[in-house]
């Protein structure tokens, strides 16, 4: 009987969180999660501001996004995210209804419907030779009443119909060895000029009939000094370029097919400057801009090809292309930085001294310099011309300036997150309470009536929105203090632009942002890149008064041997506390499990010469470090050579300067994979901060197994070199995938397993004593997910209670590295439908709650899959005891339950990573997914067993209690009366 | 003489198979895979919002190439080398099986397609969703039964039963029997909570 009850209870428990451990009602969306949409740093922008229809700007970005933005508010009308290797080279609007994009190095031309972003046509342009890709939409060029788009890509010139994308004609230049620089189409003319260089010193002009692509004339001329870089067209028959020394400006006139060069020394134009010049690629008519050192010089070209300096500007940042706004009038924008403000000047190309517009706009000091500017004109109510400017800043943000003010701004830096960490919010102090908004009775009643309507399914869509807003307000998710459950935190994200943002986990707003000065381009640091961000100081206990801080690690250049930069940032104030420009490089950063008296975490930076550098550089840190000196081991992976090495610290560095924070290392072991058969494609370790609740795992029949929870395990996947590419390149016979489990201290291979006929890409996650990895099975032509669980056999004898009582167990016996660990491995594979972009696992505060895998699918959604589906002990017919334990009968593929998508009906476009952060409440974890979009949700893998759910009906509880009390009284009165009657009887 | 019809049959078979599959156009070193995605409005209410075909992506080989649908639902991948490829459709609200596509090198342009989930071959590359994905739990409409079935409701029901039916039962009981039962109860003493639990019951 007792057994039956237990079975019943367990099965009830099992059923209660079997399938839909994460599921939402539609009206719950947005309560515990937030979603933000971005597009990335804008590369090109085309305005569409005709009188009818919505005013919009079409942009293409460095994240391969093409988007249409509302010009009034900056919202996204539509957005298309192209593939990772489908970079956009050009964008334009044709016929007033199609957006044209050229991508994939000039080989794919697509047309999108302007109102809704539906793809209208797509055409594949063939060519053989990689070349510069150019997109040009001539205004008045028609062939058979069809507007023509001219595309130069892969060494061919194509004329494409703008209506259906059919290639009208094609001219192949691949045999001519010309590097085309420009396509020039003079107005009112059926001729197209393709100009370019052959080699470094020959200049060629091809005159082509626009109607049929026939070559009319080909002329070439040799310029003995050689050219440098690109040509810029100044007018329809005049080009400007630089000679190979970058000190002579060359004007090229190719009128009527006659090419003539004219050289002008830069030192002739102005005496005081000599040096290297760069031509800005802005297309201005009759004028061009040259950057000499920090000076921007505007030079006018006369019809005879004579150059004259028009203006010199000292702190200019960006110049837009020319825009023709009325009959023959052309203007362009010039951006300068004056006293921390952005000065926007609209210049008329022909009348230099007359500025059309001069506005000074405050854009905020954390945005850096202006990188790009695009302008558009409109007609004011008084029929004069007004201008608006779209500017792209150093931190990738996008701003629209109009009438001396910022109309809207978009924090596009958040589209390119590099690394994420978290920080706690300040503790709520007594007396510092957030003022509560007093509600009057009527409002209170109204709110409750609305809620009642909602539960009775009578609410209209407006009511539902009102209820949603009320719920958001009441849940206090966006307060700036720590909460009891630990849901409110700060997400510290580092973006590619070198900007650090603090996002509030409650509503995703930016609390502060900081464009790191150490990660900005400077004389000593040419190409700074941010690498990662770590928790530097997490104050608790004795350092409570200090603010937490994070460490940002960057590097001055794209190569790993570039010198490193460190920056320490206070997470409450968002100010940089300190920054260090290091002399050494950084290859690896190891946060050590030790902290000093101010709770600063010790970090070990390994440089490319395998020297270890200790930070912080204090004597206290070195004392702590010396104590643990012999216990520090690390490994390095050289994926290109197929070698994994283990290292140990040796002694202080020997160099000219004595540096007690620098240590030599010694190679302890190395594993060399045979390069002809195995190539490392993935390595994964456990997260350093993961908490494991217990080593013991109770399996069926009250049996205990012990998990092998060493933190020094490394999962390595190798594939045959032929199969290490993409799917479709290898046959099953020549592909195989081998996975290893390696102890990183001893270098011992604990396990090796081969999957024949399988290939990468491998995405893996390592947690507790298991690793789950996703790969492609070529024989079945399906994706598979495998699990390996590792159990410790040396502890297996400790099951007997008496042994534990009499101390005959080996739980406290030291683990020796010389003895072979007695481990037992269990493994199983399942099919999984989708391609995967990333895998993560939920993490909770104490590690008691069962785990879920968070799988970022190819559809940019995040699927929560219960770990119990990936249990190697699943069998076709589980025994009664196994069923009781919660083992799911074996199926060949993993289920995809739509309700368990944590992103529900949203997408995280271009998903790149998922980060899980434990909340203070054991059942709950925060999951943050980032890509072009950001998404954060709160999830409870085993439901919120330690707190009441949000939709718990307190009202019903109260009513029940009241009714019960009333019933007690009523029955009491009734029974009294009955007793009295009985006594009277 | 006998082998002739066999060859003829083989030839005819080859011709048919060539006809039945979509032909890929050879272009340079690769072929073009052309197909169609068909999403009918499956008659499910509320799915019009995210069933827009304009944001449907078709993905080749796990992200190697991404393309979009035209108005008629057609898509193309250009310059695909011969081999076995995988096509996935990413449409929010629908579940598509990945498709295995064989681009034959021996018969240039011959394409064979099969769903990987159930190994069903596709005559032509027309992809249809296997099912509609409902991302939200459907809230049960308010009804009296759900309130009654809830723990609170059951409690209330039980109380009502005790309140109104028990007295009736007591009344119908034989007074003799009642007395006997009461006496029995007195003999046994008040039943403690521990004796109700199964574990304790075993020990007692």
ipTM confidence: 0.83
Q: State whether A19 and A46 are in the same domain.
A: no
How do the residues of chain A divide into helix, strand and coil, expressed in percent and rounded to 5? 15, 45, 40
Q: Which residue of A has its CA nearest to B61?
A: A727
Q: Which helix (H) or strand (E) holds A345?
A: strand A341-348
Give the one of B57, B137, B155 whose C-beta lies nearest to A23's C-beta.
B137
The reported pLDDT for the residue numbered A13 is 40
The sheet that has B65-68: what strands, in order across it?
A: B65-68, B57-60, B83-90, B99-103, B111-115, B121-122
Residue A180 placed within a domain: no
For residue B54, list chain A residues with Cβ-Cβ distance below 8 A: 78, 113, 116-119
Cβ contact B55–A80 (<8 Å): yes
Q: Which residues on chain B are in Cβ contact (under 8 Å) with A837?
A: 63
Helix (H, G, I), strand (E, B) or coil at A622: helix
- Tokens standing for residue A830: 């399942």
Report the alpha-carbon distance of residue B54 to residue B163 in Å, rounded.
63
Instruction: Choose the closest CB to B68 out of A24, A119, A956.
Output: A119
Claim to verify: residue A753 and residue A862 sit in the same structural domain = no
What is the distance between the alpha carbons of residues A346 and A325, in angstroms, rounded to a whole number? 12
Residue A262 has pLDDT above 70, yes or no: yes
Q: Measured between CA atoms, how close is B172 to chain A, in angstroms? A: 17
Q: State residue A3's pLDDT score.
A: 45
Find the residue in B nearest to A452 (Cα).
B142
A75 and A119: one domain?
A: yes
Task: With beta carbons less than 8 A apart as the criterion, state whether A864 and A898 touch.
Answer: no
Domain assignment of residue A781, given as a range: 679-807+820-832
Minimal Cβ distance to A457: which of B85, B134, B142: B142
* CB–CB contact B137 A82 (8 Å): no
* Residue A437 confidence (pLDDT): 44
Chain B: nearest CA to A896, how far in angstroms? 9
Q: Do residues A698 and A826 share a domain?
A: yes
Reported as a pLDDT band with limits 50, 70 and 90, residue B87 is very high
Determine whether A112 is exposed, middle or buried from the number of CB atoms within 10 Å of its CB (0-12, 13-18, 19+).
Answer: buried
Q: Is the pLDDT of residue A527 over 90?
A: no
**Residues of B in Cβ contact (< 8 Å) with A110:** 68
CA angle B127, B131, B136 (to 5 degrees): 135
B144 pLDDT higher than 80: no
CB contact under 8 A, B117 and A25: no
pLDDT category of residue B199 using cuts at 50, 70 and 90: very low
What would the pLDDT profile of A38-89 be if each residue is shown by its tens digit?
999 999 999 987 766 778 899 999 999 999 999 988 899 999 999 888 899 9
Return the ∠ at Cα A457 (arms to A452 and A462), rounded to 5°: 80
**Are A333 and A398 within one domain?**
yes
Give A861's contacts in chain B (Cβ within 8 Å).
92
Query: How does residue A438 score in pLDDT terms, banded at 50, 70 and 90?
Result: very low
Res. A418: pLDDT tops 90 = yes
Last residue within a domain, chosen from A119, A141, A173: A173
Q: Summarize pLDDT for A202-237 with one digit per residue, the tens.
A: 888 888 888 888 888 888 888 888 888 778 888 777
Across chain B, mean pLDDT equals: 72
Number of domains in chain A: 5
**B20-132 has which CATH code?**
2.60.40.1120
Cross-chain residue pair A896–B95, CB shorter than 8 Å: yes
What DSSP string describes A583-596? EEE-SEEEEEEEE-
State the Cα–Cα distance between residues A358 and A374, nearest whole angstrom: 16
**Contact between A963 and B156 using a beta-carbon 8 Å cutoff:** yes
Query: Has residue A965 got a pLDDT over 90?
Result: yes
User: What percent of chain A shows pLDDT beyond 70?
Assistant: 90
Task: Pick A244 or B96 by higher pLDDT.
Answer: B96
Whether the predicted pLDDT of A5 surpasses 50: no
Here the tokens at position A295 are 């000076």
DSSP tally for chain B: helices H, then strands E: 7, 13
Domain ranges of chain B: 20-132, 144-188
Residues A700 and A825 in one domain: yes
Spell out where A561-628 has E strands. Answer: 563-570, 576-585, 588-595, 601-606, 612-615
Query: Do the chains contact at A119 and B65, CB–CB below 8 Å?
Result: no
CB-based contacts of A981, cutoff 8 Å, min separation 6 = none
Residue A497 inside a domain? The answer is no
Contacts A29 to B, Cβ<8 Å: 136
Handedness of CA A26, A27, A30, A32 (dihedral sign): negative
Tell whether the model's pLDDT for residue A329 goes beyond 50: yes
What is the pLDDT at residue A864?
93
Q: DSSP assignment, residue B164?
A: I
Which residue of chain B is at minimal alpha-carbon distance from A780?
B116
User: Cβ contact (<8 Å) for B198 and A1?
Assistant: yes
User: Of A561 and A429, which is predicted with more confidence?
Assistant: A561
| Residue B27 pLDDT class (50, 70, 90 cuts) | very low
Q: How far is A156 from chain B (nearest CA, A)?
A: 14
Q: Cβ of B136 and A905 within 8 Å?
A: yes
In this structure, are A694 and A791 located in the same domain?
yes
Section A265-273 average pLDDT: 73
Q: Name the domain boundary from A116, A144, A173.
A: A173
Q: Is the pLDDT of residue B42 over 70?
A: no
Q: Which residue has the higher pLDDT, B106 or A108?
A: A108
The whole-number pLDDT of residue B16 equals 34
Cβ burial A311-343 (10 Å sphere, 16+ → b, else e): bebeebbbbbebbebeeeebbbbbbbbeeeebb
Output the pLDDT for position A800.
Answer: 64
**At A330, is the pLDDT very low, low, confident or very high (cuts 50, 70, 90)?**
confident
Q: How far is B7 from chain A (nearest CA, A)?
A: 30
Does A764 have pLDDT greater than 90?
yes
Tell me if A782 and B116 make a contact (CB, 8 A cut-off): yes
Mean pLDDT, rounded, of chain A? 84
- B69 compared with A560, residue with greater pLDDT: B69
pLDDT-derived band of residue A181, with 50, 70 and 90 as boundaries?
confident
- Residue count (chain B): 204
Closest-CA residue of chain A to B199: A2
Same domain, A691 and A765: yes
Give the separation between CA A976 and CA A113, rounded to whole angstroms. 82
Give dist(CA A454, CA A472) in Å, integer.
15
The count of other CB atoms within 10 Å of the CB of residue A844 is 25
Distance, CA of A765 to CA of A973 (rounded, Å)? 66
Q: At what angle do helices A954-984 and B151-160 cross, to 10 degrees?
A: 10
d(CA A109, CA A676) in angstroms, rounded, equals: 40
Rounded Cα distance, A565 and A585, in Å: 9
Q: Could you tell me if A106 and A21 lie in one domain?
A: no
Q: Which candidate from A2, A117, A957 shows the least CB-CB separation from B54?
A: A117
Q: Which of A26, A858, A964 lies at the smallest CB-CB distance from B62?
A: A858
Q: Which residues of B are less than 8 Å from A835 in CB distance?
A: 59, 62-63, 86, 88, 98
Mean pLDDT over residues A351-371, rounded? Answer: 83
pLDDT band at B47 (very low <50, low <70, confident <90, very high): very low
Structural tokens at position A628 = 């643990």
Confidence of residue A19 (pLDDT cuts 50, 70, 90): very low
Which positions in chain A touch B91 (Cβ < 8 Å)?
859
What is the band of A433 on the pLDDT scale with cuts at 50, 70, 90? Answer: very low
Residues in A touching B92 (Cβ below 8 Å): 859, 861, 905, 907
Does A49 lie in the same domain as A83?
Answer: yes
Per the structure block, which two tokens stand in for A301? 């070209």
Q: Do A24 and B53 touch (CB under 8 A)?
A: no
CATH number at residue A63: 2.40.128.630
| Mean pLDDT computed over A681-702 | 85
* Among candidates A80, A455, A960 on the partner chain, residue whose Cβ is nearest the Cβ of B68: A80
Query: Which among A410, A430, A463 is the end of a domain?
Result: A410
Residues A825 and A688 both lie in one domain: yes
Q: What are A469-506's pLDDT values in tens digits?
A: 776 666 566 777 888 888 889 999 999 999 999 999 98
């Amino acid at each position: 009987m007792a057994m039956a009850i237990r079975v019943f209870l367990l099965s009830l428990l099992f059923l209660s969180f079997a399938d839909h451990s994460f599921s939402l009602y539609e009206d719950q969306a947005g309560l515990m999660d937030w979603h933000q949409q971005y597009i990335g740093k804008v590369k090109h922008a085309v305005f569409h501001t005709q009188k009818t229809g919505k005013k919009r700007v079409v942009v293409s970005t460095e994240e391969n996004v093409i988007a249409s933005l509302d010009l009034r508010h900056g919202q996204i009308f539509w957005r298309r995210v192209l593939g990772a290797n489908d970079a956009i080279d050009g964008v334009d609007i044709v016929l007033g209804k199609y957006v044209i994009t050229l991508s994939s190095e000039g080989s794919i031309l697509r047309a999108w419907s302007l109102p809704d972003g539906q793809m209208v046509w797509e055409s594949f342009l063939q060519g053989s030779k990689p070349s510069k890709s150019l997109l040009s939409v001539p205004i008045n060029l028609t062939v058979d009443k069809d507007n023509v788009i001219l595309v130069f890509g892969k060494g061919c010139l194509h004329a494409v119909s703008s209506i259906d994308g059919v290639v009208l004609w094609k001219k192949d230049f691949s045999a001519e060895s010309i590097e085309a620089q420009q396509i020039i189409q003079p107005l009112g003319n059926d001729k197209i000029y393709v100009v370019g260089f052959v080699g470094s010193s020959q200049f060629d002009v091809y005159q082509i009939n626009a109607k049929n692509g026939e070559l009319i004339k080909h002329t070439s001329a040799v310029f003995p000094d050689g050219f440098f870089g690109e040509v810029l067209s100044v007018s329809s028959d005049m080009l400007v370029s630089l000679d190979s020394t970058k000190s002579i400006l060359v004007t090229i006139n190719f009128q009527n097919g006659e090419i003539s060069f004219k050289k002008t020394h830069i030192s002739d134009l102005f005496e005081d400057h000599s040096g290297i010049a760069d031509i800005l690629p802005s297309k201005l008519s009759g004028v061009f801009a040259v950057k000499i050192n920090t000076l921007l010089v505007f030079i006018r070209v006369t019809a005879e090809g004579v150059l004259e300096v028009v203006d010199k500007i000292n702190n200019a940042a960006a110049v837009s292309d020319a825009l023709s706004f009325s009959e023959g009038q052309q203007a362009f924008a010039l951006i300068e930085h004056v006293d921390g403000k952005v000065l926007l000047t609209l210049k008329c190309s022909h009348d230099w001294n007359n500025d059309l517009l001069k506005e000074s706009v405050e854009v905020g000091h954390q945005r850096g310099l202006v990188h790009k500017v695009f302008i558009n004109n409109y007609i004011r109510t008084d029929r004069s011309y007004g201008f608006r400017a779209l500017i792209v800043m150093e931190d990738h943000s996008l701003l629209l300036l109009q009438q001396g003010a910022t109309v809207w701004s978009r924090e596009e830096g958040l589209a390119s997150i590099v690394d994420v960490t978290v920080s706690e919010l300040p503790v709520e102090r007594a007396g510092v309470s957030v003022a509560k908004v007093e509600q009057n009775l009527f409002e209170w009643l109204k709110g409750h009536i609305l809620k009642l309507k909602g539960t009775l399914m009578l609410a209209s869509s407006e009511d539902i929105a009102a209820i949603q807003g009320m719920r958001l307000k009441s849940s206090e998710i966006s307060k700036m203090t720590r909460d009891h459950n630990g849901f409110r935190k700060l997400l510290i994200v580092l973006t590619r632009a070198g900007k650090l943002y603090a996002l509030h986990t409650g509503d995703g707003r930016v609390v502060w942002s900081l464009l790191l000065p150490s990660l900005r381009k400077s004389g000593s640091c040419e190409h700074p890149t941010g690498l990662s961000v770590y928790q530097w100081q997490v104050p608790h206990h004795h350092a409570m008064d200090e603010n937490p801080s994070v460490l940002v690690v960057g590097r001055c250049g794209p190569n790993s041997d570039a010198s490193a930069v460190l920056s320490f940032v206070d997470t409450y104030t968002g100010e940089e506390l300190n920054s260090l420009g290091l002399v050494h490089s950084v290859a690896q950063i190891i946060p050590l499990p030790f902290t000093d008296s101010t709770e600063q975490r010790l970090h070990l930076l390994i440089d490319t010469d395998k020297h270890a550098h200790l930070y912080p550089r204090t004597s206290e840190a070195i004392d702590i470090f010396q104590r643990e000196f012999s216990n520090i081991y690390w490994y390095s992976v050289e994926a290109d050579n197929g070698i994994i090495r283990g290292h140990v610290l040796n002694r202080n560095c020997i160099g000219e300067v004595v540096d007690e924070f620098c240590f030599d290392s010694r190679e302890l072991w190395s594993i060399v994979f045979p390069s002809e058969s195995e190539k490392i494609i993935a390595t994964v370790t456990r997260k350093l901060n993961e908490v494991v609740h217990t080593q013991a795992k109770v399996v069926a029949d009250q049996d205990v197994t012990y998990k092998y929870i060493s933190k020094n395990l490394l999962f390595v996947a190798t594939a045959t070199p032929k199969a290490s590419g993409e799917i479709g390149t290898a046959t099953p016979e020549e592909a195989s995938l081998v996975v290893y489990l390696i102890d990183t201290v001893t270098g011992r291979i604990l396990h090796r397993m081969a999957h024949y006929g399988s290939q990468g890409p491998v995405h893996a996650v390592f947690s507790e004593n298991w690793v789950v990895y996703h790969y492609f099975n070529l024989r079945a032509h399906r994706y598979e997910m495998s699990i390996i669980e590792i159990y410790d056999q040396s502890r297996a004898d400790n099951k007997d209670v008496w042994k534990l009582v009499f101390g005959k167990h080996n739980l406290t016996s030291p683990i020796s590295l010389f003895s072979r660990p007695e481990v037992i491995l269990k493994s199983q594979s399942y099919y999984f439908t989708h391609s995967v972009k990333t895998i993560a696992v939920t993490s909770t505060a104490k590690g008691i709650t069962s785990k879920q895998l968070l799988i970022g699918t190819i559809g940019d959604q995040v699927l929560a899959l219960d770990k119990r589906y990936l249990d190697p002990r699943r069998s076709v017919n589980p025994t009664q005891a196994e069923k009781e334990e919660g083992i799911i009968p074996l199926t060949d593929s993993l289920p995809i339950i739509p309700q368990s998508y944590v992103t529900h009906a949203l997408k995280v476009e271009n998903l790149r990573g998922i980060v899980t952060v434990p909340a203070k409440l054991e059942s709950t974890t925060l999951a943050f997914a980032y890509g072009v979009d950001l998404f954060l949700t709160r999830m409870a893998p085993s439901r919120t067993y330690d707190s009441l759910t949000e939709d718990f009906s307190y009202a019903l509880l109260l009513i029940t209690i009241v009714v019960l009390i009333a019933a007690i009284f009523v029955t009491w009165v009734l029974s009294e009366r009955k007793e009295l009657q009985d006594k009277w009887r | 003489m006998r082998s002739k019809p066999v060859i003829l049959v083989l030839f005819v078979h080859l011709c048919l198979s060539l006809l039945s599959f979509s032909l890929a156009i050879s272009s340079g070193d690769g072929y073009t895979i052309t197909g169609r995605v068909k999403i009918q409005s499956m008659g499910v209410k509320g799915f019009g919002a995210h069933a827009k075909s304009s944001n449907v992506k078709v993905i080749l080989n796990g992200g190697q190439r991404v393309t979009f649908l035209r108005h008629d639902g057609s898509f193309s991948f250009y310059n695909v080398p011969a081999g076995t490829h995988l096509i996935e459709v990413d449409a929010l609200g629908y579940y598509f099986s990945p498709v295995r596509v064989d681009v034959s090198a021996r018969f240039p342009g011959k394409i064979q397609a099969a769903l990987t989930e159930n190994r069903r071959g596709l005559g032509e590359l027309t992809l249809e969703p296997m099912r509609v994905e409902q991302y939200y739990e459907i809230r049960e409409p308010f009804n009296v039964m759900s309130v009654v079935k809830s723990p609170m409701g059951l409690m209330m029901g039980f109380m009502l039963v005790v309140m109104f039916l028990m007295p009736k039962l007591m009344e119908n009981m034989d007074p003799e029997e009642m007395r006997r039962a009461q006496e029995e109860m007195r003999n046994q003493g008040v039943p403690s909570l521990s004796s109700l639990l199964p574990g304790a019951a075993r020990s007692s």
